[in-house]
Amino acid sequence: MTTFTELTFKSLNPANQPAGDQTIYIPKTASDQKRIASLFVTDLPFTAESAQKASVPIIAYKGITQQNSENLQVLHPELTQLLQVKKVNTLVLVYNSNVLDPGYSYGSEKDLSGPLFNVYYAVKKFKDLLNAFDRNITLIWANIKHQFQFEGVITLDELEIKHPDRTYKNLQNYKSQENPFFDCINLTELSMNRLYAHLRLKDAITFYSYHADRLKQNEFVYKSVCYCHDGDKLEKIQYTDAKLYLRVGPYYYKRIMVTNAHDEYEEVLKPWAIGEIGRDYGKDFIKQIPRYDSFVNKPNNSGEYQRVITSNHNGIVSNLFNIYHPVDWEPVAGEWPTIEKFLKHIFTVCNIEGEVLFEFGLDYIQLSYQNPRQRLPILALVSSERNTGKSTFLDFLKLIYGANMAILDNQRFNPKFTSHFAGKLFVAIDEGHIPLHDKTTKEMIKNMATGKVMWLEGKGANAEVVENFTHLLFCSNNERNFMQIDPGENRFAVLKVPSFRKQGFKDDPDMLEKMRKEIPAFLNFLQNRRLHYPVKTTRFWFPDEVYITEALQLVMDKTKSILEKELEDWLNDCFVTFSELELNYTLADIVMELNKYSEFRFPKSKIKDLLVDNFNICPGPSQRYVYRFEDSKGEAVAENKKGRFCTFYRKDWVKI
């Protein structure tokens, strides 16, 4: 026969852990009995010491009053073993006298149905688990009558002190309809509806009538509705949960708080079916949900932020819901040495003119904070080395901007479904790599950097147009070809980041936490700092040459297409061979020359697109020109022809 180890009361409260950390407590009184017809279960922490003296088989099981208890995911194996070995026929759940008390206090906005629902659903879970284990075991609910609470009697021990020798006799007499100490319900015979009614969860009038002595004519919240008794009848004032939902156009959403990778809360909007809202709250509740005409994206990191924006044009008033989230940090004067050291490391690279880009980096972050609508270049941090701080930089920005930043991988950066990043101020692709042939994603990136609007679209949901002010970031271990960047492209600022070790920095596992504490001081610094580049000179604010780096030029060179490389090599050879300052060729000439010796076949359309898109060169009107080429013997030939030709200049093509 299986023996059960007794857990002493002392073990429930060890000095190094909170009381009640045990899941189950089986005292010797219960484990020593050969057979138990009726087993009594109460919640931890265990309070029925007097039951052991009365030889009543009672155990403690943590979680039977809390529906979200992990202990109700599956019955504890010691409990199922006890039920099986002792051949238990009836299991009685025993609750204190305050189990029906919703915990009302004057002026509180707490939903009084919440504690009662916790108990109800916990019992329902327990019943389902018990039925799955053994449907022949009868489940009984028993609570010390509520009126004992007002006499200061809450637990079984306190009831036994007040009524010695009667408490446990009445507990074991749970079948009696006239039990003076306990309210008992046979949950196996009478279903959960009886318990639902017993907890006064059926309706507000029943609930108020039972608790009227305490609620009186004060406002209280029940099932997300605020009520007040006017002396004659119970009046409904408003729904308090209505603020958790919103309707935008014809669609409903719920505001949900989730934790991010830094254990900080972020608000997200989840589509919610109107039928489910009605099922949870009733049809009247739906009328209380705030309504908006459309989404809008208006980033603002100052005290002028507005969640709801009203527009009035031509007599049409529209209420718009701002999908941009407020930044919660309050700037405070102070020092920020860890952030400064870290940013000097990230922006330690120089541009091709030899200027260190630290001030550029500070301007980039400052403009994002103070002028978030300003377009900025796509910032790409690349390095084949490990432990460089690239991902830490993304985490640092995430700490500042919270829900206004999305950190994605390649798979989540999907041109089709954008609801998880559309409208964000920062969209970062960590370990990003866009294949050279993926033109769709490449065009999406270019449009995000410059486009005025973006489609907010999720699976199974209609697309919404929102204003686009996205600042794109890439972090990649691929220094040469994380994505194709065309020559002359000014959208990208590519910075090669060295490892901390090369910079002489020691590993600091607490760096991010130190930077978190310095953020208020850093933001205060940005508010009072003068921009290093104070004048906007391009659509991306900075002069193009400021962020042209060797790393950018390397990516441009290594991601050229085969056609582009062949064209450059051929034109370079032509200028060297013919010693001319300019050369003229029609598209047909170029097709013939490029395909003459190449192992690849280049169509005319591809060549035309390359010349227009990458070099802004297109054929002029038809006129006479000199066609220069080498014949089969390798000798230079000049032939007069007529056609629509392109003009190429030596300075653009000859490699020095």
How does pLDDT run across 97-122, given as a tens digit for each residue? 999 999 898 888 888 998 999 899 99
Please state the rounded mean pLDDT for residues 532-539. Answer: 92
User: Is 137 contained in some domain?
Assistant: yes
Asked if the model's pLDDT at residue 380 lies above 60, the reply is yes
Which pTM value belongs to this model?
A: 0.58
User: Is 413 contained in some domain?
Assistant: yes
For the chain, the average pLDDT equals: 84
69, 62 contact by CB (below 8 A): yes
pLDDT at 600: 77
Please state the rounded mean pLDDT for residues 590-618. Answer: 85
User: Does 125 lie in the same domain as 99?
Assistant: yes
Q: How far, CA to CA in Å, does 291 sit from each of 84, 270, 295, 314, 326?
A: 56, 16, 11, 21, 20
Asked if the model's pLDDT at residue 269 lies above 90, the reply is no
Give residue 619's Cα distance to chain centre: 51
Place of tokens 């099981």: 61
Which of 137-146, 211-220, 589-598 bottoms out in mean pLDDT, i.e. has the lowest?
A: 589-598
User: Is 159 contained in some domain?
Assistant: yes
Please state the rounded mean pLDDT for residues 380-405. Answer: 89
Length reported for the chain: 656
Which has more confidence, 166 or 482? 166
pLDDT at 459: 54
| Confidence bin at 174 (pLDDT 50/70/90) | very high
Contacts (Cβ under 8 Å, ≥6 apart) of 399: 262, 264, 512, 515, 516, 519
Which of 290-299, 503-512, 586-595 bottoms out in mean pLDDT, i.e. has the lowest?
A: 503-512
User: Is 531 contained in some domain?
Assistant: yes
pLDDT at 448: 76
User: Does 539 lie in the same domain as 420?
Assistant: yes
User: Does 587 lie in the same domain as 540?
Assistant: no
User: Does 646 lie in the same domain as 515?
Assistant: no
Asked if the model's pLDDT at residue 126 lies above 80, the reply is yes
Please state the rounded mean pLDDT for residues 250-258. Answer: 86
Choose the final residue of a domain: 170, 202, 234.
Answer: 202
Choose the final residue of a domain: 153, 170, 202.
Answer: 202
User: Does 644 lie in the same domain as 524?
Assistant: no
Please state the rounded mean pLDDT for residues 206-216. Answer: 91
User: Does 46 lie in the same domain as 154?
Assistant: yes
pLDDT at 612: 87
Percent of the chain with pLDDT over 90: 33
Six token digits for residue 577: 């061979």
pLDDT at 261: 66
Place of tokens 């108990």: 119
| Confidence bin at 11 (pLDDT 50/70/90) | very low
Which has more confidence, 282 or 455? 282
Asked if the model's pLDDT at residue 306 lies above 90, the reply is no
Place of tokens 């960590």: 430
pLDDT at 483: 79
Please state the rounded mean pLDDT for residues 185-201. Answer: 90
pLDDT at 418: 64
Query: What radius of gyration do the chain's Cα atoms show?
Result: 37
Q: Which domain holds residue 631?
A: 561-653
Asked if the model's pLDDT at residue 137 lies above 70, the reply is yes
| Confidence bin at 18 (pLDDT 50/70/90) | very low
Choose the final residue of a domain: 202, 225, 260.
Answer: 202
User: Does 426 lie in the same domain as 357?
Assistant: yes
User: Does 515 lie in the same domain as 573?
Assistant: no
Q: Mind listing the pLDDT tens digit for each residue in 31-51?
A: 888 899 999 999 877 666 777
User: Does 565 lie in the same domain as 553?
Assistant: no
User: Is 273 contained in some domain?
Assistant: no
Long-range contacts at 160-165 (CB < 8 A, ≥ 24 apart):
160/50, 160/54, 161/50
User: Is 600 contained in some domain?
Assistant: yes
